[in-house]
Structure 1
């Protein structure tokens, strides 16, 4: 009995083919994501005038490789029949899209460490080899039908471009480790040179000097950026040529298919109408993704045509610099990473590895040489056009250039001294360096847009630095035999807490004070952080931060509502005594209950106890002054505290120039760009503050290193007071009184 119904195999095939349209749309979606990422990098490059287009959104990593694996669904599909013009063109567009994506990956190699480079390039190689193997398997299986295979030549060219770009990518990856070491060594030498120049020009730090300093280090940071270095390399340049040529191959295939077969007809494969969406998104991706690699190639031609003569160009094209092969030479000369006990076996393995590496070095040599020759040919063909374009452009802008040529020339001479170039690299064009300088100027201007407006208005209250010596008094008996030091922000936080608790003060004044201190503390924290003495003041800085969170957000000091305190109708003296007593009680209770020996050191105290000790001393000092000036109103006391806060901030901000300078002095080239960018933003934000401080003179006996610490200021002012009184040491009666007060407090605490 024979089966007359439909074949079970046919039914299974139909069921399996149903979701293929959805899979095709998934491929189109993955292609669209890659296209948008490449477009974002291209837009970012044009916006920032970095025409070497750094990889920020589309880089070589696990996410992008996974997306590309989805995009390659059509080329690796060996079973689905795809014979129409639309289907065949979609396969070619997938392969060209892969080549375009690889060309966009090159600069991202500069942002990875050695391990990430190895893993990501290996993963890319596996993906490319897998795609290539699947395509060639299909070609071999249907070799009898190749005469009727549409777009076969374009398919082979796309595969060839993928493999060639993989070789270029591996070549660039091998160059990066030795390049990084070379640039780090060169940066250290240039950094030393810059430090010597700074010491020679040492004097009062001005905003103009800081601008010049930031510009120097920005030039060093940008030109030594490894992404920029890779973008300038000849292998990356060749990738641009390949990307441009293979995109033209896809355009040619589109035009030829449109003429012969009407490519937008219905697809006969299982992917159905989704094939057209795949073709559309991938073709768009190829067009968008070709812009960055082609621009790098054109810029490289512009570099060479501007700086080299013909004889020098030929000589450079026939020279392969050592950093291209240095990594493999190091591997060849190093010992085996694994142990082999048998001497002869170890020798065989070592010789075999040496032979393989020698072949790799030779292949690297040929790759770099071929890349240089292609670039030289490109320069010979295109440089006449560039020269004509420059002549026309120069004629149009001659008047503008003549007006500013002298100043610009002087600036360029200074800037070029700090450009970081590899061995054999041509000098960067003036226009490129100008764009780099414009970027740092834009960053400084961006910082100006966020300048602390409330702080600037508040800053005019300060006329000198007297608040530094007035906020605390040595006449206040200490709660511990060893005095607790201050950081810059702790007295400001404490004084602000007291000021907000005062009665009969207009709400507008307290709001302005709160906003001003909030803006000022964000800058003071930078000074405290940059000049912290080996973390000895870490607990004190933390105490100030915690107290300020309560004051700013909840209007409370250690659970005590400052707003409610100011409305109770008490006078300022009672409020000061209340805050002082609460703080004193907190410190004495902790000392009584503390059992661990390390807590005897006040630097190890909990943050709430440190803040309480500060409140006790400062409120007592104000009470002492209040006793002398008992006729002062609450509003007048608020104003006095505001001036004291402004004086402390002014003394702290005298260190801003050194903070900005220290941020420029980064330890490594990888962190330098980010560090200099922060310095430029800080300069923009605080330029007006620095301008006001330039009109003041620091105390004569205060060295720059001492000016970073509020305790040094207090010690200097205390010494000046003693000198003004005609004696260096404290009178014996006062010493005895002070000792008796300390002993009384200690006995009381221990009891």
Structure 2
């Protein structure tokens, strides 16, 4: 028996080294499959959301994807493993094409990266691509790749060209973002001015028109969309399609023109796994080419809206300033390296001159890339426009054989288009994109209607039912707590919207003699309402002062919703004890007081600080004590209330608090559309449109309520509502809507103007 790695004669036993190679092939195929799934998910996401420029949501250039790509292209960089068969040589070619597909597919993803992240990812990608090119050249020289050398040469050229295009396109991203952010703020101010002038519409109509404008601005300034419609992305799409065609040509010739190639006899160390890798990579190339190809075709369609239009010839050799602006600015920057500061003035001057020469070379290269990309686009438009002209002729001939009633019915939508808003002022575009304004406006006008309809299908039915029972003026905001309740501390913490709702719901669930269906409806309604309350508190609480209180509400509600427990108190068990509502309220108040004192003794240091910094359980216990004591006072003043009646009264109080919070809906949308980062602004506006669709009925209900005369920023705070009500006459605890008239309101309309 020989030593490990040697045979009985002591010679090297290299046969053992090749045994795990099929498993390595499976590993390579698995990495390709992961990339395939991510690129397919992007394609499905683009079609589903009607984004035919296909943003990179699941597959982009980052540390994870680069690691997967490095594994997936192992066959291209394998220098010494024999690959004699047809599928072996094709697998090497498909690995090289796979890189081209990845670069063409993921170009828009650089729009959502930070500057440092862009730099690191480009450097990592460049190292990977250069390594592959060097390895392929070595294999061509050694004979490891003995067929498809022309295809490999063409793919290496395309690979290098795509890398240069990708690198210099990423270089313009900071300039584009800065310019679009500036234009968005200007257009946003214009939208606010126009919104303030329209006072004869309902809140829903105002919000809908506002969101249409915000959507047009957010969509057209989305960094991924801007890069996706750029001339370099158009060119990369064409090059990506060309690389896929080269692979298809090589596979066709090798399988159907058998005399064109002579393959060797033998077997690869990868054995059957090579075929698996080839199938997976070919499928990945086919799927990954869909997005770049459609971006290329849609860019062509955008640039030739009129068949036979040749106006794009005028800008063929024009390079817009944003392509080279950052390079021009870098020429004036001094070298900041400490190494150069230690040398003499002559050395520093020479280094600065070398930097300027290098940047001049980069500017010339960037100019060449833009011009070449425009030439590729020009050739594409020239060929495709002829095809479109033929299609138009066929359509015109087909129309001649149609009946007149069909023609008239087809013309009806055109007449309705006159009623649409003129959104051309809200289309954000770069220099040289003037011809795209009308096309982008026409193609994205109905996007808000699409998301509104989707939102309407998912209305919060239980919340709507609750708000219909809310009082005029939302007097429950003033009633859930009272100064008559003795305080446990010197300074009470600030109230939030969510914590009183959670505490009141806990009390309602502990009451006896309440129908099961009423409990379920309350939990469902509060669940739906808290979704909006949490989002609004996050947007309106800019300083994050209420972070602990919001956290306390979330922690308590998780226990109530999932286990029907407030901290350690089983609310369901408490409601089945058969005691009166008074005893239940007294027990809850006493339990909360004991819990507060227990936690106070354990957390003395915390209670000496600002109440907003108290632990979540302390805040929850204090809220339960005050609210349960206040409900007990109300119950004692109206002792004839049964458990079901008190439950309904508390439910109305909850609906009043939720309704008062939801009056800040438009202010929250305004903040969300402006404060979000440019990379995520489009998603923010889309979510806002979807939320509007879900809450149309809610906003109509709120319009019928009388509101206090508070400023917009005051309406965001529940304590401001309560402070105003302390200055008014105290409301009696009654379900009559007439009590809402005691509120002094400056208008019957909702204070939802965007400030």
TM-score (normalizing by structure 2): 0.85
Q: Which among 154, 170, 183 is matched to residue 180 of structure 2?
A: 183
- Write the deviation string for residues 362-407 of structure 1: whole angstroms up to 9, x where unpaired: 1111111111122112222221212332465587695555212233
Unaligned runs of 5+ in 2: 1-6, 400-405, 733-755
Alignment-derived partner of residue 641 in structure 2: 632
Shift of 1:423: 0.8
Q: How does 1:512-551 map to 2 (within 5 A)?
A: 512-532=521-541, 534-551=543-560
CA distance in 2 between partners of 1:94 and 1:535 (Å): 50
Please point out which of 577, 580, 591 is paired with 2:589.
Answer: 580
* 1:619 matched to 2:624: no
Q: CA–CA distance in 1 between the matches of 2:198 and 2:32?
A: 56
Aligned twin of 2:257: 259
- Partners of 1:601 and 1:97 in 2: how far apart? 59
Q: How many angstroms apart in 2 are the aligned matches of 1:369 and 1:272?
A: 46
In structure 2, distance between residues paired with 1:597 and 1:27: 56
* SS of 2:729 mapped into structure 1: helix
Per the alignment, do residues 446 and 8 of structure 1 end up closer, same or farther by CA in structure 2, a change over 3 Å counting?
farther
3-state SS in 2 of match to 1:691: helix
Task: Give the match for residue 328 of structure 1.
Answer: 327
How many Å separate the matches in 1 of 2:125 and 2:513? 71
CA contact (8 A) 1:25 1:274 kept: yes
The answer to whether the 8 A contact 1:303-1:426 is kept is: no
Aligned to 1:462: 470
Shift of 1:166: 1.6
2:266 is the alignment partner of 1:268: yes
Greater alpha carbon shift after TM alignment, 119-128 vs 300-309:
300-309
Partner in structure 2 of residue 362 of structure 1: 364
- Describe the superposition over 1:402-438 as per-residue Cα deviations: whole angstroms up to 9, x where unpaired: 2122333443x53332222111114437675455444
Q: Secondary structure at the match of 1:362?
A: helix
Q: 1:105 to 1:587 in 2, by over 3 A?
A: closer
**Distance of aligned partners of 1:279 and 1:191 in 2 relative to their CA distance in 1, 3 Å threshold:** same
Alignment of 1:258-297 (within 5 A): 258-261=256-259, 268-270=266-268, 271-297=270-296
**Alpha-carbon deviation of 1:141?**
4.6
State the Cα RMSD in Å: 3.4
Please report how far the alpha carbon of residue 355 of structure 1 lies from its aligned counterpart in structure 2 after TM superposition: 0.8
Q: For 1:172-228, what per-residue CA distance to the aligned partner results, in whole angstroms no more than 9, with x for missing partners? A: 122222112211221222222222223333688612222222222222222212121
Mapped partners of 1:161, 1:95: distance in 2:
10
Q: Secondary structure of 1:131's partner?
A: helix
Match of 1:222 among 219, 223, 243: 219
Q: Which residue of the partner structure matches residue 748 of structure 1? A: none
In 2 relative to 1, CA 272–542 (structure 1 residues): closer, same or farther, beyond 3 Å?
closer
Matched, 1:424 2:425: no
2:52 maps to which residue? 51
- Paired residues of 1:87 and 1:269 also in contact (CA < 8 A): no
Q: Say whether 1:718 aligns with 2:717.
A: no
Q: Secondary structure at the match of 1:167?
A: helix
CA offset digits 1:553-590 (Å, max 9, x no partner) = 33333433333333333322333333334445555677
Deviates more, 1:313-322 or 1:420-429: 420-429
- Check the 8 A contact 2:96/2:155 in 1, yes or no: yes
Kept in 2: contact 1:660–1:682 (CA 8 A): no
SS of 2:639's equivalent in the other structure is coil
Bigger shift: residues 370-379 or 447-456:
447-456
Q: Distance in 2 between matches of 1:291 and 1:710?
A: 52
Instruction: Find the residue that maps to 2:679 and give its secondary structure.
Output: helix
Deviation at 1:319, TM superposition (A): 0.7
Q: Deviations over 1:628-674 (max 9, x none)?
A: 32333333222222222222222222222322232222243123123
Q: CA deviation at 1:345?
A: 0.8
Q: How does 1:77-226 map to 2 (within 5 A)?
A: 77-82=78-83, 85-141=86-142, 149-201=146-198, 206-226=203-223
Aligned to 1:687: 696
CA contact 1:302–1:386 (8 Å) conserved in 2: no
State the Cα deviation string for residues 298-347 of structure 1 (Å, max 9, x = none). 21211111169866422211110111112222222111120323111111
Structure-2 change in CA distance of 1:205 and 1:491 (3 Å): farther
Cα distance in structure 2, aligned partners of 1:659 and 1:218: 16
Query: 1:744 matched to which residue of 2?
Result: none
Distance 1:688 1:486 in 2: 28
Question: Displacement of 1:83 after TM fit?
Answer: 5.2
**1:353 matched residue in structure 2:** 355
Q: For 1:247 and 1:506, how far apart are their aligned partners in 2?
A: 66
1:122 Cα offset (Å) = 1.7
For 2:83 and 2:609, how far apart are their aligned partners in 1? 82
Q: Which residue of 1 aligns with 2:744?
A: none
* TM-score, scaled to structure 1: 0.86
**Equivalents in 1 of 2:576, 2:262: separation in Å?**
79
SS of residue in 1 equivalent to 2:608: helix
Conserved 8 A contact 2:308-2:386: no
Indicate the residue corresponding to 1:486 in structure 2: 495
- Aligned-residue offset at 1:262: 8.6
Once the two structures are overlaid, the 10-residue window that deviates more, 548-557 or 452-461, is 548-557
Q: Distance in 1 between matches of 2:578 and 2:30?
A: 68
Distance 2:372 2:258 in 1: 37
Residue pair 1:83, 1:150 contacting (<8 A) in 2 also: no
Distance 1:561 1:26 in 2: 52
1:86–1:265 Cα contact (<8 Å) kept: no
1:24–1:261 CA distance, 2 compared to 1 (3 A)? farther
* Pairwise CA distance, 1:157: 1.4
Whose Rg is larger?
1
> Contact between 1:539 and 1:603, CA under 8 Å: does it hold in 2?
yes
Match of 1:65 in 2: 66
The structure with more helix, counted as a fraction of residues? 1
Secondary structure of 2:551's partner?
helix
The count of corresponding residues between Structure 1 and Structure 2 is: 713
Counterpart of 1:731?
Answer: none
**Which deviates more from structure 2 when the two are superposed, residues 536-545 or residues 185-194?**
536-545
Contact 2:606 2:615 in 1 (8 A): no
The equivalent of 2:509 in structure 1 is 500
Distance, in Å, in 2 between the alignment partners of 1:91 and 1:240 is: 22
Alpha-carbon separation, structure 1, partners of 2:12 and 2:625: 88
Provide closer, same or farther for how the CA distance between residues 8 and 20 of structure 1 changes in structure 2, counting only shifts above 3 A: farther
1:531–1:136 distance in 2 versus 1, CA, 3 Å: closer
Contact 2:195 / 2:206 at 8 angstroms: preserved in 1? no
The question of 1:451 aligning with 2:459 is answered yes
Aligned ranges for residues 594-609 of structure 1 at < 5 Å?
596=605, 599=608, 602-609=611-618
Q: Secondary structure at the match of 1:319?
A: coil
Write the distance in 2 (CA, Å) between the matches of 1:17 and 1:619. Answer: 75
State the secondary structure of the residue aligned to 1:417. helix
